[in-house]
Every structure is written in structure tokens, then in C-alpha cells.
């Protein structure tokens, strides 16, 4: 048990800090559309050219091949520098890429991995369907196999940034007769394929904010060579990388949120008079508890990283996810209460209200907090199904 | 950076855990056992013999030579078994006696010094003379009483207290009295500026609270697996499963933050106050909420003295109050410097 970082780890940290300081994008990240896509790709490209893309990706695929601890350090410095999150690259870097590394063919790796690290392509996820949310394995988008091709028909929904993406990791049903987990395939889908139409979906934050699309597939032809892993083994392929990085990327968010709480304390002092947040009124008590909980969230990431470094792969990281989701939501709500009447203004130059509304997705996306609690109950505590 | 126990630390915890499982099962408080007071002090000499009273003291002074991390792990086990918190009086008396070069050190290390605890009720002033009104815990047949506060820690004689009167404690297996100090001079006074005794005490209380949170979680989960209603174990129902999941989430947060704070203290890194106060707040919150949920998961039997669920709840409240309750700790949390 220790908190020490090796000499080599500390030099790595210094280098990362210096590079980030010198190379941060100076302009503000656009909130939507092609401008946002161009911004995220350019920032990813700059990280690649600087030699910082894919810290824990194997070297043979263009990564740095370093430990999870180094990956953690990179994320910590990234957040400390307040570097913009290139959300559009998230699926490619944290899910599609690692899935191809784990299960892709040589040709699939060659065609896609270096483009991901170089910031040339955006990937999106085609998992959820209108009738398959928490019960993902019940998905019904169908693919029949004809002359070396998959012919896809059906619909996917809640596809974040689908309208800005080049590729999609798509789960389709290739066998309707087998048990539901055993008839699914994981497919690389070109978003420009004929037969794909997209319906933009506005989200609750503010007017005209398109975050998701619904995708419709009408006889979309995809080469069989785009199946990752075996046909009908897609469920296992998808599960193999759901825990990629074992949560080290979460530390970015945790440090950002810890800074947010510090900012909230200053704002509360400014708005409520300098003594008020320190006296034990309601806002002060909530800020204090939040400050403590944010520290604990970071400690939980250290535990998850320690366990992964020791080769312990278990469901305990779901405890961190559940705790962090609730705490972040609580922070966004408190930020609103600090604003008082001004919370009724959803201003573009002041994003607390926008992110409060946005925070409702934290406990829904990638498995609702209720599903998380089922997983904790069954896999961590061993309670019966 | 590594949050996992070393092999040596695992051995320490295992040996302590099996000693306590044998000597101090939580069921020791169940009726027909006496409902007021406890006999834990009878095995303090054995705890001393195993080395746990001097676990954080250098070998040159008669200790084992470990640090804050191992002491914290021991207190987590003490919390799981609801040891009388007066053991903290001994741990801190060892520290104070070593610092002051007092001849009491040997008896304290051996677990033979009888030390109760005191906690401020009102108008408390600690220093080279101490005044105010206090609660005394498990101090009735002690010669010594230990008090800790932000200013430092004092070892006093029990006879320094006046107007001592017994009261029925909320946690009634702990002997409770009220008492008063009027300009009493402690046998030993250690200033917090010269030795971080308050932050160590808070860390150990937080670790003890983690033990309560863990034991409550485990007891609830075990019951939810076995108790059948509607033809199924109640743990298969989401309403109960999610109560248990919440207990697990809180416990993990508390454990991780207590480890974080313990390592910051052990390595004398920046942010001792920030991380220690956070640890006490998060751990006490987990202990109180888990103890309450454990009663709920048990249903009617949880409301009786025939299970141990209530013992965890009552002890959690006592730990919360000791040397600064959560309301006070929240003030300190906001006042602490943010370690960037």
C-alpha cells in the first residue's frame, strides 16, 4: 500500500504536463455540428503528432504501450491542464479501438487503428434499439447473410453523434433461433452506406441541441469481412472491452469535478457573502459533503487502477461508476442552487445550467444506475437473480 | 501508487481478525449478556501482547514499527467487532507517553493501563489546563481518561473530573458518565502543532466507521440471501437488492478514502487535513446509513435486541460524535486547503 510514483512515472508526468501546457487548443470547443467534429479531430491529431495518443495501446498499433498507471497519470494531467475532452473520439479510442485490438483481424486492425489514433475518423455506437434498452441482448436489428454480405434491416437509437460519424460499431441479430445472447454479431458499419437514413433527436438541454440520432437500415449491405470475431459471437465481443482501461479514464472527470466544486465554493462566497458558505447553512453543508465525496471518488479510481494493475478483473469498478454518477449529478444540482434566481437563465457563456440539465444522462447512459445496482447486487455481493 | 494490502499487511489483518472473531464476536452483547457496560478491557492485555497497541510506534520505543496505514487497518477490524472505543484511549496514550518519555508507556503498551475516553459536551477548553463539561466513556473503573481535540490530546486522571454521574448511554453497552473539569492539569499534554495527534485520531475513528459499514453490509447481504418470502430469497427482489448495492457503494467509497487519507498521513504528503476530514465524513455517513439499512433489510427482527443490527447503529452515532461530529467536520472540510 503506497501513494508513491516511481522516478520514471514522475518524469512521465512532468513531460505530459509540459507538453499539454504548450499544446492546449487556445480556442473554445464548439458545442455542435461540423465545427465540433473538426475541433475534436484536430486536437486528437495534435496529440498523436506530439506522441501522446494511445498511452496504454500496444506499440504495434501505434500506441505507447505503457502501464495503466501511466495512463492514469496522463488523464490526471489532462484534467489538471483543463484540456478539452474530445468527446467525438471517445467511442473510437475507448471502445471500438480496444475491441479491434482484442478481437479484430489483421486487415481490420490495419484499416482502422492508426486512423483512430491519428484523428482521421469518428466512430459511433449502434447498440440500443427502440425496444432494447436495458435489455440490450433482446435486440432485433436483423442481418441475413447473402453472397458474402450482410443485409441489414432495422433501427438503432440513442446513437450519440451518429450524424457526425464515419464508422459505427453495430450489433445485429444474425441468428433468430438461438438464445438471445448467442445470435448476435459485432459489425463494422460504414455510415455512408446506401440504405442508412438518420433522424436527429433533440435533447432536453436547450432548443435545437442534437446529440443523438436514430438510425434506420434498409437493406444495408456490409461485407462479411467487417464482422469482428465470429458470426454470432458478437455479445462476447462487445463484453470483452466494456471495461477497457478499467476506469482510468474516469479520473479525468473526477479531477474536473473536484475543480468544479472549488469553483462552486468561490462562486457561493461571491454570491452569498464571503462568510456564508463557511457558516453551516444548507449550501455550506452540501458543499462540504461534496468536497469530501469528490475526494472519495478519486480514491475509488486509485483502487480500481490498483486492482487492474494487479490483474484482478472483477465487477468492483461498478461500485465506482455508481458512486461517481450520483455525486456528479448532486454537484450539478448544487451549482444550480448556488446561482439562485439566475438558474432560470440558460446562458451560453455560463454553462452551469446547461450541464445541470445534461447531468440527467449520467445515471442513464451505458447502463442505468438501476441496472448498475443489479450488477452490484448479483456480481459483487452474490445476491440471487 | 498501490491501494492493495501487501502480503505482510494481509497477514496482520488476518491474524487480528481471527483473534477478534474468537474473543470478541459482536454477539457478545446479545441478551442474556449484561445490557449495560462491557468487559472488553479484560482482553486489552492480549491485544497488547499481539502488538496492536504499539503498532505505529518505532521498535526503539517498544512498538512494532509500522505506520498510519497498518494502524488504520487494525481499527477497521476493531470497528467490525465493535471493540470498546476506549481502546483508542490506549493507542493514543501510548503515543502521548512515548512522546513525553513517561513511565506510563510500558503499562499502556501492555494493555494494562486503564484508560477511558472523554468527549466535550460544552464549554470545553483543552491545553496545559483543561476545563469544561464532558461525557466519559468506559471510564468508571479507569485510572486515566484521554481527551483529544483540534488543539491536541490530554491524558488526565479520572480523579481530575468532578460532579461525575452515570447516565444511560444511547449505546448502552458503553459505560457513560457526565463529568466536569475545572482548570485540571493533564499528566501529559501534547499539542497538535507538535504532533498530528488529532488527525491520527480522526483517521482511526474513520477506519473504525468503515468496519461498522462493512459489517452492517455483510450482515444485511447474508440475511437477504437466506431469508425467504413469496417463495424466494428477499435479496432477489430489486427493492432489497438495491438497498444492499447502496450499502456496498458507500462502503467502497469510505474504504478507499480512508486508505487515501492513511497513506497521505503515512507518507507525510500534502493534504492531511483535507483528506482526513473527508475520510471521517464519508466513513461516518457510510456507517450510519448502512447500519440503518441493515435494520430495514432484517425487518421486524432487526428492531429487536436479538440481532446485532442495532449495536452497529448505536456505535456509529457514538463514533460520529467523538471529537467533532459531522456538522463540525463539514466546517473543517470547507476550511481545509485544497491539495491540488
Q: What is the pLDDT at residue A233?
A: 96
Q: What is the pLDDT at residue A245?
A: 53
- A214 plus A332 within the same structural domain: no
Q: What is the pLDDT at residue B285?
A: 98
* Domain termination site, one of A235, A256, A283: A235
- A208 plus A265 within the same structural domain: no
- A268 plus A223 within the same structural domain: no
- A191 lies in a domain? yes
- A362 plus A282 within the same structural domain: yes
Domain boundaries, chain B: 7-191, 197-335
Strand (E) or helix (H) holding B286 = helix B272-298
**B238 at interface of A, judged by CB pairs closer than 8 A:** yes
pLDDT tens readout for residues B147-174: 999 999 999 999 999 999 999 999 999 9
- A211 plus A260 within the same structural domain: no
Q: What is the pLDDT at residue A309?
A: 84
Strand (E) or helix (H) holding A345 = none
pLDDT tens readout for residues B45-56: 999 999 999 999
Adjacency order of strands within the sheet including B176-184: B162-167, B176-184, B130-137, B115-125, B144-149, B152-157, B188-191
Asked whether A190 and A167 are in contact (CB, 8 A), the reply is yes
Asked whether B40 and B24 are in contact (CB, 8 A), the reply is yes
Structural domain of A28: 7-85
Alpha-helical (H) ranges within chain A are 7-23, 33-49, 68-80, 90-91, 97-103, 106-117, 234-240, 250-272, 282-309, 317-339, 352-358, 369-375
Across the interface, do B260 and A278 touch by the CB < 8 Å criterion? Answer: no
ipTM for the complex?
0.95
Q: Which of residues 317-336 of B touch A (CB under 8 A)?
A: 327, 329-331, 333-335
Assigned fold of B197-335: Butyryl-CoA Dehydrogenase, subunit A; domain 3 (1.20.140)
- A252 plus A375 within the same structural domain: yes
- A299 lies in a domain? yes
Q: What is the mean pLDDT of residues A323-332?
A: 96
Domain of A15: which CATH number? 1.10.540.10
Q: Per CATH, the architecture of B7-191 is what?
A: Orthogonal Bundle (1.10)
Q: What is the pLDDT at residue B242?
A: 98
Across the interface, do A69 and B331 touch by the CB < 8 Å criterion? Answer: no
| Distances from the Cα of B7 to the Cα of A165, B57, B121, B208, B322, angstroms | 49, 21, 43, 22, 32
In total, how many domains does chain A have? Answer: 3
Flag whether pLDDT at A249 surpasses 80: no
Flag whether pLDDT at A218 surpasses 80: yes
Q: What is the pLDDT at residue A246?
A: 52
- Contact list, A378 vs chain B (CB under 8 Å): 241
- Contact list, B294 vs chain A (CB under 8 Å): none
Q: What is the pLDDT at residue B127?
A: 96
- A93 lies in a domain? no
The per-residue pLDDT of chain A, averaged, comes to 92
d(CA B8, CA B69): 12
Report which of residues A233 and B33 the model is more confident about.
A233
d(CA A331, CA A349): 19
Q: What is the pLDDT at residue A279?
A: 66
Across the interface, do A296 and B278 touch by the CB < 8 Å criterion? Answer: yes
* Domain termination site, one of A178, A205, A235: A235
- A103 lies in a domain? no
- A268 plus A333 within the same structural domain: yes
pLDDT tens readout for residues A164-179: 999 999 999 999 999 9
Residues 6+ apart with CB under 8 A from B148: B92, B154, B197, B198, B201, B323
**A308 at interface of B, judged by CB pairs closer than 8 A:** no
Q: Nearest CA of chain B to the CA of A52: how many Å?
A: 22
- A36 lies in a domain? yes
Smallest Cβ–Cβ distance between B2 and the set A2, A280, A384 belongs to A2
* Domain termination site, one of A85, A108, A141: A85
pLDDT tens readout for residues B202-253: 999 999 999 999 999 999 999 999 999 999 999 999 999 999 999 999 999 9
Write the burial class of residue B230 (CB in 10 Å: 0-12 exposed, 13-18 middle, 19+ buried): exposed
Residues 6+ apart with CB under 8 A from A28: none
Flag whether pLDDT at A69 surpasses 90: no
Amino acid at each position: 500500500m503506497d501513494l508513491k510514483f516511481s522516478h520514471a512515472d514522475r518524469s512521465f508526468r512532468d513531460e505530459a504536463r509540459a507538453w499539454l501546457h504548450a499544446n492546449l487548443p487556445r480556442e473554445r470547443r464548439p458545442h455542435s455540428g461540423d465545427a465540433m467534429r473538426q475541433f475534436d479531430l484536430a486536437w486528437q491529431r495534435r496529440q498523436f503528432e506530439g506522441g501522446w495518443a494511445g498511452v496504454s495501446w500496444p506499440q504495434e498499433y501505434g500506441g505507447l504501450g505503457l502501464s495503466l498507471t501511466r495512463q492514469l497519470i496522463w488523464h490526471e494531467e489532462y484534467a489538471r491542464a483543463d484540456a478539452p475532452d474530445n468527446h467525438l473520439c471517445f467511442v473510437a479510442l475507448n471502445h471500438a479501438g480496444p475491441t479491434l485490438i482484442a478481437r479484430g483481424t489483421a486487415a481490420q486492425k490495419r484499416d482502422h487503428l492508426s486512423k483512430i489514433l491519428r484523428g482521421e475518423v469518428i466512430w459511433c455506437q449502434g447498440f440500443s434499439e427502440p425496444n432494447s434498452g436495458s435489455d440490450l441482448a433482446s435486440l432485433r436489428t436483423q442481418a441475413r447473410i447473402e453472397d458474402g454480405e450482410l443485409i441489414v434491416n432495422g433501427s438503432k437509437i440513442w446513437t450519440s453523434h451518429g450524424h457526425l460519424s464515419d464508422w459505427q460499431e453495430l450489433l445485429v441479430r444474425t441468428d433468430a433461433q438461438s438464445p438471445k445472447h448467442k445470435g448476435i454479431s459485432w459489425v463494422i458499419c460504414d455510415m455512408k452506406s446506401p440504405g442508412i437514413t438518420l433522424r436527429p433527436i433533440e435533447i432536453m438541454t436547450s432548443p435545437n441541441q442534437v446529440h443523438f440520432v436514430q438510425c434506420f437500415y434498409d437493406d444495408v449491405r456490409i461485407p462479411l469481412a467487417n464482422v469482428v470475431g465470429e458470426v454470432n459471437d458478437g455479445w462476447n465481443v462487445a463484453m470483452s472491452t466494456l471495461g477497457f482501461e478499467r476506469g482510468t479514464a474516469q479520473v479525468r472527470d473526477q479531477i474536473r469535478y473536484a475543480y468544479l466544486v472549488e469553483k462552486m465554493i468561490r462562486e457561493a462566497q461571491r454570491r452569498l457573502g464571503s462568510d456564508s458558505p463557511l457558516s453551516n447553512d444548507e449550501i455550506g453543508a452540501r458543499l462540504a459533503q461534496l468536497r469530501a465525496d469528490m475526494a472519495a471518488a478519486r480514491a475509488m479510481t486509485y483502487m480500481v487502477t490498483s486492482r487492474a494493475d494487479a490483474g484482478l478483473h472483477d465487477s468492483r469498478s461498478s461500485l465506482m461508476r455508481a458512486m461517481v454518477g450520483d455525486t456528479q449529478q448532486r454537484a450539478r444540482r448544487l451549482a444550480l442552487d448556488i446561482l439562485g434566481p439566475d438558474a432560470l437563465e440558460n446562458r451560453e457563456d455560463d454553462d452551469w445550467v446547461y450541464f445541470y440539465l445534461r447531468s440527467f444522462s449520467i445515471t442513464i447512459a451505458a447502463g442505468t444506475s438501476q441496472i448498475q445496482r443489479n450488477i452490484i447486487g448479483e456480481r459483487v455481493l452474490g445476491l440471487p437473480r | 501508487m498501490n491501494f492493495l494490502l501487501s502480503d505482510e499487511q494481509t497477514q496482520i489483518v488476518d491474524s487480528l481478525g481471527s483473534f477478534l472473531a474468537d474473543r470478541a464476536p459482536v454477539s457478545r452483547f446479545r441478551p442474556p449478556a449484561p445490557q449495560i457496560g462491557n468487559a472488553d478491557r479484560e482482553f486489552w492485555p492480549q491485544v497488547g501482547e499481539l502488538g496492536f497497541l504499539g503498532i505505529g510506534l518505532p521498535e526503539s520505543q517498544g512498538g512494532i514499527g509500522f505506520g498510519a496505514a497498518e494502524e488504520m487497518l487494525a481499527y477497521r477490524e476493531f470497528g467490525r467487532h465493535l471493540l470498546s472505543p476506549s481502546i483508542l484511549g490506549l493507542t493514543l496514550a501510548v503515543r502521548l507517553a512515548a512522546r513525553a518519555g513517561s513511565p506510563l508507556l510500558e503499562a499502556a503498551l501492555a494493555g494494562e493501563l486503564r484508560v477511558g475516553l472523554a468527549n466535550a459536551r460544552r464549554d470545553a477548553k483543552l491545553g496545559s489546563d483543561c476545563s469544561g463539561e464532558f461525557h466519559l466513556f468506559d471510564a468508571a473503573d479507569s485510572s486515566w481518561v484521554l481527551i483529544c481535540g483540534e488543539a491536541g490530546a490530554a491524558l488526565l486522571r479520572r480523579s481530575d473530573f468532578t460532579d461525575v454521574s452515570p447516565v444511560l448511554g444511547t449505546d448502552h453497552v458503553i459505560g457513560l458518565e457526565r463529568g466536569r473539569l475545572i482548570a485540571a492539569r493533564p499528566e501529559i499534554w501534547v499539542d497538535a502543532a507538535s504532533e498530528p495527534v488529532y488527525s491520527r485520531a480522526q483517521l482511526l475513528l474513520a477506519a473504525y466507521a468503515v468496519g461498522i459499514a462493512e459489517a452492517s453490509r455483510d450482515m444485511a447481504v447474508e440475511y437477504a440471501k437466506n431469508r425467504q418470502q413469496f417463495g424466494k430469497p428477499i435479496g432477489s427482489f430489486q427493492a432489497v437488492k438495491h438497498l444492499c448495492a447502496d450499502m456496498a457503494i458507500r462502503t467502497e467509497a469510505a474504504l478507499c478514502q480512508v486508505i487515501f487519507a492513511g497513506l497521505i498521513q503515512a507518507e507525510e504528503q500534502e493534504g492531511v487535513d483535507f483528506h482526513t476530514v473527508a475520510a471521517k465524513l464519508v466513513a461516518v455517513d457510510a456507517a450510519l446509513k448502512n447500519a440503518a439499512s441493515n435494520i430495514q433489510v432484517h425487518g421486524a427482527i432487526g428492531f429487536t435486541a436479538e440481532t446485532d443490527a442495532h449495536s452497529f447503529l448505536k456505535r456509529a452515532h457514538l463514533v460520529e460524535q467523538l471529537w467533532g461530529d459531522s456538522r463540525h467536520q463539514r466546517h473543517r472540510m470547507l476550511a481545509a486547503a485544497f491539495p491540488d
